[in-house]
Structure 1
Amino acid sequence: MLKKALIIAGGAALISCQPAMAEESSYSYFSSRMAKTQVPDLLSSSERDYYAQVFGAIRGQNWAKASELLDSRDKGVLHDIARAELFLAANSPRVEMGPLLSLLNAAPDLPHAERLAILATKRGATILPDRPQMVRMANFGGLTRRGKPRSVADGTVPPTLAATIQERIVADDPAGAAAALAEQVDFLSPQARTELQQRVAWSYYLENRDQEALDMARAATLGSGEWLGEAHWTAGLAAWRLGNCAAALQGFEGAAANAWNEEQRAAGYYWATRAATRCRRPDLVQANLRAASQYGETLYGVLAAEQLGLADSSVRAPDFSTNDWKLLKDRPNVRRAIALTQIGESTLADQVLRHEAQIAGDSAHDCLLRLARDLSMPQTQMWLAQNGPQGSRPDAFARFPSPRWVPVEGWRVDPALVYAHTLQESNFRSDARSPADARGLMQVRPGTAQDMARARGQSLDASALYQPAVNLEYGQRYLEFLNTRPETQGLLPKIIAAYNAGPLPVSRWNEKVRDHGDPLLFIESIPYWETRAYVGIILRNYWMYEKQAGVNSKSATGLAQGMWPRFPHAGGIELVRLDTVQNN
């Protein structure tokens, strides 16, 4: 059994899209920016009420009322798009060619324009108004993920062998799995052999049988395929725990060389740095650390940059600026999108901004991205971050939305940490629902939320979890609850692990995982693949949000120094070191 004691370680005329800057902590930055925006209100209170009635009538299929309301006032910012919605709504009255052409002439830039043109052609139109040409968008890809290699399915693995190995692994019997594998290993393809040997090696590792894990992992490294990088990785970890720095260095360098995704490659380089340090090989330390730092949006890429002193706290996410507004203010779709968000039509606003990005070209793309951020349109922001004009490349912060949503009872947990979970849990989809009935932004289960509500003498309707303010409140409460649990010890990596897997597995890992008090070794030794990846993703997200706020990440600094970050609070974050003593 391992006894772990906590020790506090103290711890201009030419208008262009240009960013605005500066703050001191991620908590204060995100809390204060909730009330700050350069986006103007385009609708008066009475106009908001009026257009809400118009769109309400359209959504309710009250066609006569919608037409009457639109005809009752002079044309405003949302008249054209409201008429387009009315004309194209399912079951709405037939519209003749004249009104269709009139609308197309008035608003050829609407996202509805092509459908309106097709309908006008069906009504007999032969000459159509010119419409803006769509720009071909490049896809920049999304965030990196430390995924699991695909299981080899080449027909060389008998189903009975696969089943037996899995059964023995689940039963914590790697020796039994190894015996079953040994009987048929010569009949397997190199790829299948590598996969199964790696699985058995990892089982040995989880059972703290490190020499056997190292031996089996080394055998796996003689093979090929996507599992080769994982085999080298397992060999590196087993050798690290055995204190064999040379074998660990070989394993981690092999993991980097044979990685099939950026996360694993960065991990291999970073841990090779650790092994080279332990082996007193300064010639390899800097080379591997710099190699890891190239993958700046990965867990270990951030840590490597931190150690190299490359983290720049003077750079923060640019907010929507007055210059941005000067560039965009005469674009009808921009004005429509802003007005639509003022009446709660966020889905339609999303369509409008995406369409505008495809007809505006690269001159406005970054400004539109910042507008989406300021309008609290995270889905739009992420789409604009992943799709843009050829040759452009949005800044890294664009893929990390921070909408101006506030929990019902205000922020108590660092918003950066809440956003970090929300991005992974739901991709900021407030309507997300899992097969296990976890709901909303932070994937909160109704039963858990209702238990927390009752503990405060409150009640909660499960449907309220689809409301951002409510969901963020209960997600925040659950993080606070996990912080107080003895299983997590108030340590951030364990709290994150418990958010994904629950407190009880963390309790088992506290007893079983031989991490030598090293937080990174604990993370990499978590038995659940999903949770192991989850902790790394959340920490990466958290640090990127701290960068967005322009602050240095104390938790990243601590982890790079072998210290555990505690749960963050408004005053900052405390670092602790675990002294680990083997109890014989």
Structure 2
Amino acid sequence: MIRTLAIVLGLSALPLPAFAATIAGEPGGNTRLGATQLVGAPTLEQIPDQLDPDQREAYRTVFAAIRDGKWTDAQIGLDTMKPGPLHAIARAEMYTAKGSPRVEMEPLVALLNEAPELPEAEQISRLAAMRGAVDLPPLPVAQRLIWQDGAPRRVRAKSLKGDMIAADLALKMQPYVKADMGREAQSLLESTPGLTPEALTEWQQKIAWIYFLQGDDANARVMATKAQDGVGDWAVQGRWVNALSAWRQNDCANAETGFEGVAARAGDVDLRAAALYWASRADMVCARPDKIEGRLKAAAQFSESFYGQLARQQLAMKDKGTSVGGLVASDWKVVGKRPNVRVAAALVEVGETDLADTVIRQQAKIGDPREFANLVRVAEALSLPATTVFLAHNCPQGVTSTAEARYPTPNWTPDSGWHIDKALVYAHTLEESRFRNTVKSPAGAYGLMQIMPAAATDFARERGTAIDMKALTKPSTNMDIGQRHLERLRDMAGVTGGLLPKVIAAYNAGPRPVGDWNAIVHDNGDPLLYIESIPYWETRGYVTTVLRNYWMYEAQGGKKASTSRNALAQGMWPRFPGLPGASAVRMAAKPYTQYHASVTPVQATLAVNANVGPRSTTVTRAD
């Protein structure tokens, strides 16, 4: 095992010429669209129909009337059709809707007696009391759902608040940070008295990061060493920059010491796993094979992290594919008798998925905790992924969610069909919106895959159709535009080169920054060093998170080996899934001149821990 690990890890550190390659352990190259079969995704076929065709049509008309404020039409629609499973919730929606006609006490009390479990019941009970009702039926007691953390993600160090000297320094630093002027920033810092140890450490790390991005490893290490001797989370970040700079200088001994120090001090799981994995790489270069396996096993414990996944790949640990589909029939036997669950299933049949989400959440609050896992799987079967994600993080006391619940696989298909691996589309969607179809970012991105208006316009022009905001709420349309945008990014030879990490980065930051980074990021041909050298904080985390999501979806779908994960573990660049030819390439280290005072740095607005909106070129500076 150690010999095998040594060979694999050693390859990632060597500056080899670029060439296409089939990854070790993988059959052939990709000759077709990479289509992960998400076999774990259950379907509605496993849940019995709640409505007949006439009821579906009638209820659709009723709910449309309620949404449009046509109260008389809605009431007539309910009164003229035979009673069904959605009568109560339709009336509840109508009674509580803004601007709806006044409802007297008797209908309110009657509705409470009929369906006290509905999410509107508490509001209806208050209305009834206001109308003079005294002897109201008891409502189910709602339990508090407790937040549970999910998959690890890198935690960002926070700036010190309330320090007036530090706040004034931050304002003075802005032009130097914007222009990537590390020496000037360092001079300003060293001439600023009265900083707290925390503020001093923060700016030492930030200046070290500017130097690192410019390829000035010597000065990066000087400033990072000062930062790592400081206090707080910024000291850990300083140690991380120091170790990366040492790695890039081929100083494996100090890199190993630095990464080991980060692993011992990091307060978040993601950074700890990263440091352990990078320490194993340094151990390999320094010919310390006795340490490699132990570090990888330690990193592999964090199996839902990006580097934990890579460690598992190095150790040849098999992912256990999970299939919830076979369980849904038995789950329905448990929770299908609950009125709210039947109502939610019927609402899905008529397209009222947002209301179905509300009903399932209500059932989670009032239901038996022992039925919670059954409820989650039924929500998945109903293709309510936002509900599933919510339930994965909000559980009754004593209940622990599973990883599978954090990676829902709705039974959706883009309008034009699948053109790229659906696991990759879902990996983006999970990170972009948590599968919420109406969420809007400050930058104006909308829906499941956070489609920017420009992307929607390009898509509409290409397809000869109109795309409005309502269309973007449809999963099939939003995902169709999203996958087409991924294809465009994939095909930008001078920007992404079809390399998966760069395509993912471009989806978040936009193609222009990624194109700029091709000239300024000094990664020595190493895809992992490229990822850790991405100038935008958000994009660095986005790339690792989406790749992690992708691998989790692949495993959940029963895929025995992840091509992209295998490539990265071998120091190779995975190509976008489905491209013809080899599935990965090894890149040569680009020659670059070590920074010195006579060299003018490349101006690329290298943001220090910047926030970037999805596919936006606008950078918002950290405080």
Matched, 1:350 2:350: no
CA distance in structure 1 between the aligned counterparts of 2:314 and 2:282, rounded to whole angstroms: 15
Paired residues of 1:197 and 1:220 also in contact (CA < 8 A) = yes
**Residue 588 of structure 2: which of 575, 579, 583 is its match?**
579
Matched, 1:395 2:402: yes
- Cα 1:73–1:478 change in 2 (3 A) is closer
CA distance in structure 2 between the aligned counterparts of 1:290 and 1:245, rounded to whole angstroms: 20
What corresponds to 1:544 in structure 2? 552
Alignment of 1:137-148 (within 5 A): 137-148=145-156
Alpha-carbon distance, 1:200 to partner: 0.9
- The DSSP-based 3-state class of the residue aligned with 1:29 is coil
What corresponds to 1:341 in structure 2? 348
- The DSSP-based 3-state class of the residue aligned with 2:577 is coil
What corresponds to 2:104 in structure 1? 96
- The DSSP-based 3-state class of the residue aligned with 2:153 is coil
- The DSSP-based 3-state class of the residue aligned with 1:576 is strand
What corresponds to 1:459 in structure 2? 465
- The DSSP-based 3-state class of the residue aligned with 2:490 is helix
Alpha-carbon distance, 1:263 to partner: 1.7
What corresponds to 1:516 in structure 2? 524
Alpha-carbon distance, 1:159 to partner: 4.7
Q: Which moved more, 1:423-432 or 1:282-291?
A: 282-291
- Cα 1:211–1:318 change in 2 (3 A) is farther
What corresponds to 2:328 in structure 1? 321
Alignment of 1:133-282 (within 5 A): 133-155=141-163, 157-184=165-192, 187-282=194-289
Paired residues of 1:500 and 1:534 also in contact (CA < 8 A) = yes
Which of structures 1 and 2 has the larger relative contact order (alpha carbons within 8 angstroms, sep 6+)? Answer: 2
Matched, 1:565 2:578: no
Paired residues of 1:567 and 1:573 also in contact (CA < 8 A) = no
Read off the aligned partner of 1:178 and give its amino acid letter: Q
Q: Which moved more, 1:161-170 or 1:405-414?
A: 161-170
Paired residues of 2:152 and 2:269 also in contact (CA < 8 A) = yes
Alpha-carbon distance, 1:259 to partner: 2.0
What corresponds to 2:562 in structure 1? 553
What corresponds to 1:376 in structure 2? 383
CA distance in structure 2 between the aligned counterparts of 1:504 and 1:156, rounded to whole angstroms: 36
Deviations 1:2-50 (Å, cap 9, x if unpaired)? 9962331345xxxxxxxxxxxxx98242389586641222111111111
Paired residues of 1:7 and 1:579 also in contact (CA < 8 A) = no
CA distance in structure 1 between the aligned counterparts of 2:34 and 2:50, rounded to whole angstroms: 30
- Cα 1:112–1:319 change in 2 (3 A) is farther
Matched, 1:468 2:490: no
**Residue 69 of structure 1: which of 77, 87, 90 is its match?**
77
Identity fraction in percent: 46
- The DSSP-based 3-state class of the residue aligned with 1:121 is helix
Read off the aligned partner of 2:301 and give its amino acid letter: Q
Q: Which moved more, 1:123-132 or 1:28-37?
A: 28-37
Alpha-carbon distance, 1:484 to partner: 1.2
Read off the aligned partner of 2:575 and give its amino acid letter: R
Read off the aligned partner of 1:236 and give its amino acid letter: A
Paired residues of 1:26 and 1:545 also in contact (CA < 8 A) = no
- The DSSP-based 3-state class of the residue aligned with 2:165 is coil
What corresponds to 1:30 in structure 2? 38
Alpha-carbon distance, 1:278 to partner: 2.0
What corresponds to 2:22 in structure 1? 9
- The DSSP-based 3-state class of the residue aligned with 2:38 is helix
- Cα 1:433–1:547 change in 2 (3 A) is same
In the alignment, structure 2 segments of 5+ residues that lack a partner are 1-14, 25-32, 594-623
Alpha-carbon distance, 1:208 to partner: 0.8
- Cα 1:50–1:572 change in 2 (3 A) is farther
In the alignment, structure 1 segments of 5+ residues that lack a partner are 12-24
Alpha-carbon distance, 1:189 to partner: 1.6
CA distance in structure 1 between the aligned counterparts of 2:53 and 2:261, rounded to whole angstroms: 63
**Residue 133 of structure 2: which of 110, 125, 128 is its match?**
125
Q: Which moved more, 1:277-286 or 1:385-394?
A: 277-286
Paired residues of 2:572 and 2:587 also in contact (CA < 8 A) = yes
Structure-2-length-normalised TM-score: 0.86
RMSD, aligned CA: 2.5
Deviations 1:186-212 (Å, cap 9, x if unpaired)? 632211111111111111111111122
- Cα 1:498–1:62 change in 2 (3 A) is closer
Read off the aligned partner of 1:553 and give its amino acid letter: S
Paired residues of 2:389 and 2:408 also in contact (CA < 8 A) = yes
Deviations 1:134-186 (Å, cap 9, x if unpaired)? 233222134433242111235263555333433223323212222222223x6
- Cα 1:256–1:465 change in 2 (3 A) is same
